[in-house]
Amino acid sequence: METRELKKLNIYEGCSKQCDACESFFECNAPLKDIFLKRGISAFIRENMKNVKHKVIVFGGKGGVGKSMLAINLASALKKLGKTVCILDQVYDCPAIPLMLGISEDKRLMIGENGMLPVESDHGVKVVSTGLILDPDEVIVWFHDMKKNATEELLAGVDYGDIDYLVVDIPAGTSSETVNALKYIPDVDGGLVITVPSEVSQNVAKRCIYIMRKAKVPVLGVVENMSGAVCAHCGAPVEILQKGAGERMAESEGIPFLGRIPMSRDISVSLDQGNPFVVGHADSDAAKVMMHIGEKVIEAVEAGG
């Protein structure tokens, strides 16, 4: 049988002049795009978020690498450093931030005169999450348009007030939620990429860096999570997921490496209990690394402004 190499799948469509639904938004140079950015929802969002000083997005690309863990601990670290912080949970299919911050199930998102009011955790970090609206057994099946609408609502319809930092948590992948966050959040100060030490994970982590470059958002640095542990029996250091591929990836992409967070039972338990480890285990190595990451973020973001 005669065969030839398959170069592309036959699924691409031409320009429909609908920038809000376009997959190639960041690559496009059509003048239409400027009009889209200046009017309609983008303008509302800009106005609504004008008192949010800095916006930082937590990227991972791959799932389960610790994006939400980083988001809540970074927010708590920034709070400890004297900043006012709000977390925006852009994970719709399974929002975990409220549980990880120990927000009790009866606390719900309320709506006031100027829009939805973020819920405040015991540690003083504000949260906006669809987890504060949904029932625990409610399954979200949203395709692109619904996710986009939800993002627009949460950016234009929330009463953020005067805050120093908005930390945005986005789900795995590089499509809907990632593109929506990069497209609709005005003046993003930068993104952090969190990854795990194995080689195969960098495949996906790298793509986050590429998409940030496409969207012209600065990459603040790479964090390596689940980086080694200590045997509970003999005390020997163990490398569960190989070693150092996160750092090597940061180096080859020319991006600062901000530190590694070890894997430990304490961290896992702290997430289940809703007690961020920078607060609950302030003396642990992981907490020190996280405070360092917080300081680095402040340095990078506020020096530029």
CB atoms under 10 Å from CB of 2, counted, come to 3
- Rounded Cα gap, residues 209 and 215, in angstroms: 10
Which of these segments, 36-44, 62-70, 216-224, 296-304, binds another protein (CB under 8 A)? 62-70
Token digits for 237?
């250091």
Question: Could you tell me which of 226, 220, 223, 225 has the C-alpha nearest to residue 296?
Answer: 220
Residue 30 in contact with another protein, rule: CB under 8 A: no
**How would you list the strands of the sheet with 52-59, edge to edge?**
119-120, 126-129, 85-89, 163-169, 52-59, 190-195, 219-224, 257-260
Residue 214 in contact with another protein, rule: CB under 8 A: yes
- Residues 138-167 touching another protein, rule: CB under 8 A, are 139-147, 149-150, 153-154
CB-wise, 43 or 200, nearer to another protein?
200
Q: According to CB under 8 A, which one of 90, 121, 264, 284 is a site residue for another protein? A: 264
- Rounded Cα gap, residues 70 and 290, in angstroms: 8
Which of these segments, 41-49, 51-59, 170-178, 281-289, binds another protein (CB under 8 A)? 170-178
Which of these segments, 73-81, 127-135, 283-291, 294-302, binds another protein (CB under 8 A)? 127-135
Shortest Å, Cβ 194 to another protein: 11
- Rounded Cα gap, residues 300 and 221, in angstroms: 10
Q: According to CB under 8 A, which one of 30, 35, 43, 200 is a site residue for another protein? A: 200
Number of residues near another protein (by CB under 8 A): 93
Provide the angle, in degrees to the nearest 10, between the axes of the packed helices 41-48 and 176-184. 70
Residue 242 in contact with another protein, rule: CB under 8 A: yes
Residue 233 in contact with another protein, rule: CB under 8 A: yes
- Rounded Cα gap, residues 122 and 120, in angstroms: 7
Residue 263 in contact with another protein, rule: CB under 8 A: yes
Pairing of β 190-195 and β 52-59: parallel
Shortest Å, Cβ 86 to another protein: 16
CB-wise, 96 or 301, nearer to another protein?
96
Which of these segments, 35-43, 106-114, 162-170, 297-305, binds another protein (CB under 8 A)? 106-114
CB-wise, 165 or 228, nearer to another protein?
228
Residue 61 in contact with another protein, rule: CB under 8 A: yes
Question: Could you tell me which of 263, 270, 265, 269 has the C-alpha nearest to residue 242?
Answer: 263
